[in-house]
Amino acid sequence: MTTDRTALLAGARRIVVKVGSSSLTTAAGGIDPARVRQLVEVLAAVRGGGAEVVLVSSGAIAAGLAPLGLTRRPRGLAAQQAAASVGQGLLAHRYQEEFARHGIVTGQVLLTVDDVTRRAHYRNAHQTFAKLLELGVVPIVNENDTVATSEIRFGDNDRLAALVAHLVHADLLVLLSDVDGLYDGPPSRPGARLVPVVRSEEDLAAVTVGSAGSAGVGTGGMTTKVDAARIATGAGIAVLLTSAEQAAAALAGADVGTHFEATGRRRPTRLLWLAHATSGQGTLSLDPGAVRAVVERRASLLAAGVTAVDGSFVAGDAVDLLDPDGAVVGRGLVNFDADELPALLGRSTSELKEALGSAYEREVIHRDDLVLL
């Protein structure tokens, strides 16, 4: 065990573990009790060592396939949501039973993008996790596939796990897959070598990332895991990537899998979600002065600097900010509906107050709700 990994695991008091569908289910799509039991035994041992655990688990849709008589993950959103509705309860019950064997209580947390990007919701999500962990509960997290639409999705649970790790102030993110680490090419290719440590983007320059594994039941691949690692490490959280079979060894400190070292520092949680868990529901075009104010001075965006509005959105939605050349420079939560903004463009705050009332004496996007891209 290397000194770096020794220190990493010794200092990890709160760990987020993500497991993929293919690591939990049979080829036919049902839950594999032996695999779930093996995973829970590993996590219970981590808990026994004094660390708090949050589990981000895929598998709801996959678990719902067999009961519905389906042999493969359906393509249609409605069918996926139906499978998730059936499978989520089965998956949660299985975890509850297995953790109970170790005297551990579990709690289910289903998230949508709105839960963690809208101001009124994200604090509640953080407080819920904090209370569950305070009470000794292992939160089991999944995207709320039953109600999420294609327009508002995290897209994959690797990215969700990275964002949850930041939300709960985790010290370590462990990504478990059906591949034992990051290779410099497809693992099936002769001569492909495991990358034991990633310290910077330069270490990824020679890596060819494919979509190994998970065909038929999952949505992720190695690309999504590397992207998740970038999100987490850029926010100050180290990442271990390995297979579910090697989870016990990895969490015991063995030199298995790939260790992504933390490269950045923690940033406001909601801004991380805004940058990585949303897509713009519309665009605001800015004049050069507004671009300088937003990008260089990190100021709020005022109506005077907006030259055009495109898209259909309401107050509180995420919108992309474009410079005069059409390049995206930022994303923020807008304070006005799309149909309100055209009448405000190019007008100063004092002018808007005088003409339309004090309700319009506010920023189009406040600097605290804005992230640069």
pLDDT (tens digit per residue) in 221-231: 788 888 889 88
What is the spatial distance between Cα 172 and Cα 240, in angstroms, rounded to a whole number?
A: 8
Token readout for 215 is: 């065909």
Query: Residue ranges for the binding site?
Result: 18, 58, 145, 157, 177-178, 219-225
User: In the block, which residue shows the tokens 């339309």?
Assistant: 356
pLDDT of residue 361: 74
Q: Please give the pLDDT value at position 119.
A: 60
Residues within the annotated binding site for substrate?
58, 145, 157
Q: What CATH number does the domain located at 3-273 have?
A: 3.40.1160.10
pLDDT for res 245: 93
* Spans of all domains in the chain: 3-273, 280-372
Confidence at residue 215, expressed as pLDDT on a 0 to 100 scale: 37
Binding residue positions for ATP: 18, 177-178, 219-225
202 vs 172, 196, 228, 257, CA distance in Å?
22, 14, 17, 19
pTM of the predicted protein model: 0.79
Taking CA atoms, 231 is separated from 198, 234, 346, in Å, by 14, 5, 36
CA distance 191 to 196: 15
| Domain over 280-372 is classified CATH 3.40.50.300 | no
Question: Which positions of the chain have pLDDT values less than 70?
Answer: 1-3, 27-29, 113-120, 145-155, 209-220, 267-270, 277
- Give the model's pLDDT for residue 309: 95
Nearest-5° Cα angle at 164, 101 to 333: 150
> In angstroms, how far is the first alpha carbon of the chain from the final one?
38
The backbone torsions φ and ψ at residue 309, rounded to the nearest 5 degrees and listed phi first, read: -130, 135
Q: What is the pLDDT of residues 262-311, one digit of tens each?
A: 887 776 666 777 777 677 889 999 999 999 999 999 999 999 999 999 99
